[in-house]
Every structure is written in structure tokens, then in C-alpha cells.
Amino acid sequence: MDYLRVIWTVARKDLLIEMRTRERVAAMGSFVVLVGVLFNYSIDTAIVRPQEMAPGIIWMTIIFAGLLGMGRTFHLEEEDGAFSGVLQTPIPLDALYLGKTAANLVILSLVTVAIFVVFSVFFGLSFGSHPVVLAAVVFLALLGFVGLSTLFSAMSARTTMGESLLPVLEFPLLIHMVIFAVKATSRLFAGRPVSEVTGSVRMLGAFAIISVAAGAVLFRHVVEE
Amino acid sequence: MAQNKLRQTGVALAVLGTLGAMLVLWMVFFWVPTERTMGIAQRIFYVHVPSAWIAFFAFGIVALCSGVYLWLKDERLDMAALAAAEGGMVFCTIMILTGPLWARVSWGTWWTWEPRLVLTLLLWFIYFSYFLVRNATVNPEQGKRFAAVVGIVGVLDIPLIHISVSWMRSLHPEPVVL
């Protein structure tokens, strides 16, 4: 139970800071709306129905917004060397990683809901008739994404390239999430039966488990000094 | 004494390798009969496919040595991982360059967005990020650890390349050997 308490403490701290500063949510939220506007002008609606392109656009927006926000995961603690103080505490480093991942997941989930709402308003989208399955697809994809992002943002914070390293590190590994998330989302938006997305849900689940497990095991090697 | 023996072994392997490569090139261009449907372009198979095997196998070595390096902190393991990454990246580059040459003749296009090609291109970028991260730190020891982490996480890409061929419809030839 102490282990879970540590995860909760770390996540709560990050979420409290975010609630008070609104630094990441403000940037990600603005990004979502403005990207929606830009996408409207990048699609010729006389030729292409937004409903058909929506899954791909939504997931690319999630990824770019996520990179924007997740890159700042360790930014606050890196300032003034505060992270050394965090490392001095007797908490397991994998619990620290899971706490950070949990906080990032909450923040990115909120931004994802905003993406779905904004794009639904802008493009008149319909989300199909299986909202629970859609939520499961989104949750698992986000979990895998955030698992990798938290690990790699800890790494990029300690390099000379900083956040510009994140896309190069992450994008090759995110392709699996994108393929199955977009495939499942497209099928659900098109009103296809749930049986057509169960395979994608399993692959997203496997990706999420692998990402978080690998992150938890490897995090100590990234942060140790 | 040991250094000298190591150097001699290295030279012997390089000479044997060069002779072997020359023999294989002669076989590819002169000994092997011309394939009936694809003609002489099919001979790229003998460069492209082994390059693919080596690129993937090398990355497996990178991941294995990286994992054990993080565990045992033995510098020799990091050196082995780096050597494998360098070789693997060369062969991955050869694979990505020869693939489109063959594709242009057999499929009529330089590139298609089918999963195996895409994921192979991404394997190249994983190799690239291995070197990028290794050289982007102020502390070289930290760079080695970061590169090892990238190597371990990146190896997840390799089995998914194989899985993606069966999960999604693909015009890439189905696995013949592996």
C-alpha cells in the first residue's frame, strides 16, 4: 500500500502544480483549437468528408499536443536542480515514474476529451454507437503513449537537444499505436460492429503494458546520476 | 600480446570477409540463373534480404548487449552494442536503398505505404536516435546509458514488423524463409 501511496503522492503533486499554474493545459488546449482551425483549411470539404479523415486528424492532434505537454514533465524539477532533491527521497524510482505517468495520463485524457469535443463542433462528427469501446481504445492508446513519453522526456531533459529530441525518439515507436488507434477509431466512427475492433484493442493493450513496464524498469537508468 | 592477437584476428576476419563478399558478388551476378518473371532486377534479392536479416539481427545484439550493460555496467558490452549498431545501421541503409530500386522494377513504384516498408524505415530512425542520444549528453557515461535504454525500447519494433505483415494486408512478398 505504501507503494501505491507514493504513486498517488507524486501524481497528486504534479496535478496540483498543473491545476495552479495551468501551464501545460493552457498550451495544449490552445494548440487543439488552433490545429482544428488549420485542419479545416487543409481539407477540401467539397471533395473529402471530414468524417472520413477525422480519426487520423484526431490522433495526430493528440500526438502533437501530447508531445507539447509531456516534454515539460520534468521541466519544473530540472530548474534549480530540484530533481536531485526528489532523487534523495527514499521512494522507489519506478513508483516515481508511475506517478508521473499517471499525472500525464490524466492531463492528456482531459486534452483528448477537448480534442473530441472541439473537432465534433468544428466538423460535425459522429462518434458511432459504442462510446465505451471508443473510450477503451482511447484510454489504452493514451496509456501506451504516456508511458513512452514520460520515459523519453526524462531522457531528453538531460540532453543538450532538450525537447526537440522527443519526436525523433518517440515517433518510430508510436507508429504501432497510431495504426491500431486510427483503425479502431475509424471502424467505430463508421458504425462498424465491435468485433471488428477487438483485435486493435488487444494490440493497444499489449502496447500499453509493454510501454509502461519498460518505462518502469528503465526509468532508474535514465535518472540516476 | 593480447592486443596484437586481437588485431591479427581482426585483419584475418576482414580479409576472409572481403574474399567471401567478392565470391558472393560473383555468384550473384554470374553464377545464379536469371529469374523468369522479374529478370535481372531479382538479383537485388541477394543483397536486400541478407541486409534485412543483418539489420534486424544486429539490433537484437544491440538490445541484448544494452540490457546486460545496464545490469552489469561492463564497458565491453557497451562497445559491443555500439559496434552492432554501427554495422546494423549500415545494413539497414543498404536495405532501404535497395528496396525501392527493386520495387521500382517489380511493383512500378519507388515506395508504398505498406507496413513492412514503413516499420523498416522506422527501424533506421531508431538506430539514428540511438546515435543521436548517445552524443547529445554532456556526460558520456550518461549518453551510453541513454543509448542502451533506446536500444532496449527500440527492439520492440522488430517483432511488430513481422506481426504487422499478418495484421494488415500488404503487397510486400509474404515471408519465404522467415
Query: What pLDDT score was predicted for residue B120?
Result: 81
The C-alpha of B3 sits at a distance from chain A's nearest C-alpha, in angstroms, of 32
Sign (positive/negative) of CA torsion B31, B37, B42, B45? negative
Contact flag B119-A175 (C-beta cutoff 8 Å): yes
Contact flag A165-B167 (C-beta cutoff 8 Å): no
Contact flag A151-B119 (C-beta cutoff 8 Å): no
Find the CB nearest A222 among B122, B129, B149: B149
Query: What pLDDT score was predicted for residue B168?
Result: 58
Q: The complex's ipTM?
A: 0.86
Q: Averaged over A133-140, what is the pLDDT?
A: 96
Count of A-B CB contacts under 8 Å = 70
Q: Are B146 and B133 within 8 A, CB to CB?
A: yes
> Tens digit of pLDDT for each residue in A164-202?
889 999 988 888 888 899 999 999 998 899 999 999 999
DSSP class of B34: P
Contact flag B132-A168 (C-beta cutoff 8 Å): yes
Q: Averaged over A117-131, what is the pLDDT?
A: 88
Query: If you average pLDDT over every residue of chain A, what do you get?
Result: 90
Query: What pLDDT score was predicted for residue A217?
Result: 94
Take residue A100 and report the three cell numbers written for it. 508521473
| Ranges of each domain in chain A | 2-223
Nearest CA in chain A to B67: A218
Does the structure show a pLDDT above 60 at A74?
Answer: yes
Instruction: Render each residue's pLDDT in chain B as its tens digit; 178 residues.
Output: 778 888 999 899 999 999 999 999 999 999 999 888 878 888 888 999 999 899 989 999 999 999 999 999 999 999 999 999 999 999 999 999 998 888 888 888 888 876 677 778 888 999 999 999 999 998 999 999 999 999 999 887 667 656 654 565 554 555 555 5
* SS3 label, residue B33: coil
User: Percentage of residues in chain A with pLDDT exceeding 70?
Assistant: 99
Q: What is the residue whose three cell numbers read 508510436? A: A174
> Tens digit of pLDDT for each residue in A27-51?
899 999 999 999 888 888 788 888 8
The residues pairing with B35 across neighbouring beta strands, listed in sequence order, are: B39
Closest CA to A154 of A95, A80, A207, A101: A101
Any B CB within 8 A of A178 CB? no
How far from chain centre, in Å, is Cα A216?
A: 16
Contact flag B125-A155 (C-beta cutoff 8 Å): no
What b/e readout covers A47-79, taking b as 16+ CB neighbours within 10 angstroms?
A: eeebeebbbebbbebbbebbbbbbbbbbeebbe
